[in-house]
Amino acid sequence: MSSSQNIQRGSNKSDQRVKIDERSPLIPETNVGLGIRLNDIIEIKTFNAREAIYLLKKAFPALFAFLFLQALQVTNVFFVGHLGQAELAGLALGTMYAAVTCWSIGFGATSALDTLCPQGYTSGNPKMAGIYTQRAIIIMMLGFIPIGIIWLVSENILIGLGQDAELSHYAALYLRYLLLGAPPALIFWCLEKFLQGQGIMKATTYVLIICCPINIFLNYIFIWEPFSLGFIGAPIATTLTNWLMLFLTFLYIKHIDGYDAWVGWTHLSFKDWSSFMKLALPGMLTSCADWWIYELIALFAGYFGSVSLASHRLILTIALILYQIPHSLAVAASNRVGNLLGAGLPNRAIIATNTSLLLAVIGAACNAMVLLYFRESLGYFFTHDEDVVKMVASILPLAAIFQLSDSVGNIGSGVLRGQGRLKTVAAIFLPAFYLIGLPLGLMFAFEFNMGLKGLWSGVTCASISMAIGIFLAVSMTDWSWEVEECHRRVKNELIDDIDDDL
C-alpha cells in the first residue's frame, strides 16, 4: 500500500483536506505521504520566513488576549487595595486558593483541546472540533462540583492550614461570591481552544477589549459607589464579567466565525470520555506542576523576610509579563502542528516546529537582554524600596537564563501538545521541577545560605532540565507515526456516522 493511501480514505477525503487547509500559507509540499524523501530534507531543515510570518500573525492576538486577562486580575487588586491591607491580603489568599484548587486544574484539562480541536478540525470533518469541545465542557462542569464544595468550606481549610482567621474569612468570602463565576470562565477557556483550533485567534482579543473596561466599571460601582458593597463587590464584578465574556464568545461563534465547526448538542459528546481524559490528566499534572512551584517558592521565600518575599513577587511578575510572548507563540505552534497533522502534512509540521523553535530562541534572547540591561532599574517600576530593588537586580541575571530555557521548553511543549504527547510533557515537567529544581533550590537557599537567590537558582536549574528534555522529545519525533496516531485518535471511521447523526 502506498504512503498516500495510508492517510487518505479516498479521493474525496483527500480533496477535503486540501480545502480545509486554506488558512495555511502556501509552503511547497512535495510529499504528503507518511515518509520523508531525501529531496525534502533541505526544505524541512531550513527556516521558513512565510511560516514564521504565519505563526507571528497567530501569536500576536493570543499575546494581547493574555495581557487583557492579566488586566482583569490587576483591576481587582487596584480597587480592593484601596479598601485596606486586610482586604488586599484576603484577596491574594483567595486568588491563590482558587488558582491551586480550580484554575490550574481547569487550564490543564483544556490543554487536551490543544490536541483534539486542531487535529479534529483538519481531519476530514471540522465538526469533530465541536464534539470535542462539548465533551470537554460537560466533563469540566461535572468536575467543578467537588471543587465548588472545596470552595464552600475554604475558610475551615485555610484556618486548618494555619492561615490568619481574618484573612481566611475574606478569602472564603471572595470564593463564595465567585462560585457562580467559575463555570463561565472554564467554558470560556474551552471555547477559546475551540476557536484557536480553527486558526481563529482574534476572537478572544475582541471579547476582552470589550470586557476589560466594563470590568473596571463594574468594580467601581459594586465596590465603591453607588452600590458600595466593599470587598464582595470584587468577586461580583468578576462573576458578571466572566458571564459577559462567555456570552460574547457565543455570539462571535454564532454570527462571525467558527460556527461551521460547531454542532448542535449531541449524544456523541457523552461518548469516549476516556480519550479526552487520557490527554486531560497529564495536562492537569503539567499545569499544576508549573503553577504550584512558584507558590511553594513564595512560601519558602517568606522564611527570609518581607524583602525576599516582595522581591520574589516582583521578579515573578516581570517574568510572567515576558512569559506571555513565548506562551502566545506556543499556542500558535500547538494549533499549527495539530492542524497539519490532522490534514496529513508531516513535512509542513516539521517546518512549523523548526521555525517556532528558532523564533523561541530569538524572542528569549531579546527578553534576556532586556532583563540584563535594565536589571538595576526594573525594580523601580514597582517599588521605591531600595533593598527590594537591589535584591531584584541581583537575581534578574538568573531570570535572564530562565527566559532562554523557559521559552524553548514552552514552545516545544506546545508542539508536543499539538501532537497529542501530553504524557511526555508531564513526564518531563514533574521530575524537572520537583525532583531537580525544588530540592536544589532548598539546598542552595538553606544549606548554602543563598536565600532567595538560591531558590531562583533551583527554579532555573529546573527550567534548563525541562527545556533539554522537551527539546530532545521534539527532535526525536517520529512524524510519520504521529500522523497515523492522529488519524486513529480522531477516528475517521466515525465521520460519516457523525454527519448522519446531525
DSSP codes of every residue in 420-470: T-HHHHHHHHHHIIIIIIHHHHHIIIIIS--HHHHHHHHHHHHHHHHHHHH
> What is the torsional sign of CA 45, 48, 54, 57?
positive
The SS3 of residue 111 is: coil
φ and ψ at 32, to 5 degrees? -100, 10
On whether residue 22 sits in a domain, the answer given is: no
**Buried-exposed string 133-147: b where 16+ CB fall within 10 A, e elsewhere:** bbbbbbbbeebbeeb
The reply to whether 7 falls in a domain is no
Q: Which among 120, 31, 13, 29 is positioned nearest to 487, based on CA atoms?
A: 120
Does 54 map to a domain? no
Residues 295 and 423 both lie in one domain: yes
My answer on whether 292 and 349 are in the same domain is yes
pTM for the whole structure: 0.85
- The whole-angstrom separation of Cα 331 and Cα 328 is 5
Q: pLDDT tens string for the chain (502 positions)?
A: 433 333 333 334 333 433 434 344 434 343 333 333 333 433 444 468 889 999 999 999 999 998 898 889 889 888 998 888 889 888 888 998 999 999 999 999 999 999 999 999 998 888 999 999 999 999 999 999 999 999 999 999 999 988 889 989 999 999 999 999 999 999 999 999 999 999 999 999 999 999 999 999 999 999 998 999 999 999 999 999 999 999 999 999 999 999 999 988 888 889 889 989 999 999 999 999 888 998 889 889 888 888 888 888 889 888 888 888 899 999 999 999 999 999 899 999 999 999 999 999 999 999 999 999 999 988 888 778 888 899 999 999 999 999 999 999 999 999 999 999 999 999 999 999 999 999 999 999 999 999 999 999 999 999 999 999 999 999 999 999 999 988 887 764 354 455 555 4
- Same domain? For 182 and 72 the reply is yes
Query: Is there a contact between 170 and 93 (Cβ–Cβ < 8 Å)?
Result: yes
Residue 109: strand, helix, or coil: helix
Which of 271, 306, 322 is where one domain is finished? 271
DSSP assignment of 202-233:
HHHHHHHHHHHHHHHHHHIIIIISSS--GGGH
Tell whether 129 and 240 lie within a shared domain: yes
Residue 323 has a pLDDT of 86
Q: 495 with 125: CB under 8 angstroms?
A: yes
Residues, the chain:
502
Which cell is 397 given? 541575571
Asked if 200 and 348 sit in the same domain, the reply is no
Same domain membership, residue 347 and residue 256: no
Instruction: Tell me, yes or no, whether 219 and 153 share the same domain.
Output: yes
Do the domain assignments include residue 8? Answer: no
DSSP 250-283: HHHHHHTSSGGG-----GGGGS-HHHHHHHHHHH
Omega cis (within 30) before 439: no
Residues 412 and 480 in one domain: yes
Answer with the one of 247, 271, 295 that is the final residue of a domain: 271
Structural domain harbouring 355: 283-497
On whether residue 23 sits in a domain, the answer given is no
Torsion angles phi and psi, residue 48, rounded to 5: -110, 115
Q: Are 205 and 324 in contact (CB under 8 A)?
A: no
- 385 and 416 share a domain? yes
Contact 61, 126 (CB under 8 A): no
User: Rounded to whole angstroms, how far apart are CA atoms 189 and 245?
Assistant: 10
One domain for residues 406 and 480: yes
- Give domain status of residue 4, yes or no: no
Task: State the cell numbers at 418.
Answer: 499539538
Task: Find the helix or strand (DSSP H, E) in which 337 lies.
Answer: helix 306-342
Give the number of other CB atoms < 10 A from CB of residue 349.
Answer: 27
Phi and psi at residue 264, to the nearest 5°: -60, 155
Task: Give pLDDT, residue 236.
Answer: 97
Q: Quick one: 365 and 248 in the same domain? A: no
Number of structural domains the chain divides into: 2
Are residues 392 and 248 both part of a single domain?
no
Q: Which residue has the cell 526525536?
A: 476
Could you tell me if residue 9 is inside a domain? no
Whether 435 maps to a domain, the answer reads: yes
Pick from 221, 251, 271: which residue ends a domain? Answer: 271
Helix, coil or strand: residue 333: helix
Distances in Å between the alpha carbon of 283 and those of 106, 410, 430? 9, 13, 11
Q: Are 341 and 419 in contact (CB under 8 A)?
A: yes
The pLDDT assigned to 275 comes to 87
Contacts of 348 (CB under 8 A, 6+ apart): 24, 27, 29, 51, 340
